[in-house]
Structure 1
Amino acid sequence: MERVNQRTNHILGFNIKRLRVENNLRNIDVITQLQLHGVSVSSSTYAKVESGANNPSVDMLIALTHIFKCDFNAFFKS
């Protein structure tokens, strides 16, 4: 089960970073927008999400769909 979680975290992180880059946003831009959506996150925590070390919260994923103008499927593409 741990391998599945690690793989999912890696896929999520990779796709979140890909979407951020495709939208020409810096980490700080996304963090600021997340905070405006009510998701409190530090720059180090966000970096860990993009690297796959941390699992994003559901609230973060919902906010990211608004920031990146995408649906949830975009986060799980492998």
Structure 2
Amino acid sequence: MEQKLHQDLYLGAVLRRMRHNRNETQGQVVIQLQLRGYPVTKRSYSYIENGRRSLRVSELIALKQIFRVSYEDFFLELEKEEEARQ
């Protein structure tokens, strides 16, 4: 059974910021995901960053490796993003 993280909080901005911190394009991230066996297109990754597509748990694991961050980093950034919105 495939599991997805349904975004009730906006994880896309966190992913975009992490990608920008590495000076990478969406295309570069997509290639890294594809090399790890994830059938992600540039469009679908763009949808993830824009909150229009849910993120699969396996994709989050791969993005953790690609961005070289911890899971805690994702959620600390998410908390900062939510605090800024309030």
TM-score normalised to structure 1 length: 0.83
Count of matched residue positions in the alignment of Structure 1 and Structure 2: 72
Q: Per residue, is there more helix in 1 or in 2?
A: 1
The equivalent residue for 1:46 is 45
Q: Per residue, is there more strand in 1 or in 2?
A: 2
Is contact 1:31-1:46 (8 Å) kept?
Answer: yes
Is contact 2:7-2:55 (8 Å) kept?
Answer: no
> Aligned equivalents of 1:54 and 1:75: distance in 2?
17
TM-score normalised to structure 2 length: 0.76
The equivalent residue for 1:61 is 60
TM-align CA RMSD = 1.3
Name the CA shift for 1:6/1:56 in 2 (closer, same or farther; >3 Å).
Answer: closer
- Unaligned segments of structure 2, at least 5 residues: 1-5, 80-86
| Identity within the alignment, % | 35
Q: CA deviation at 1:6?
A: 5.0
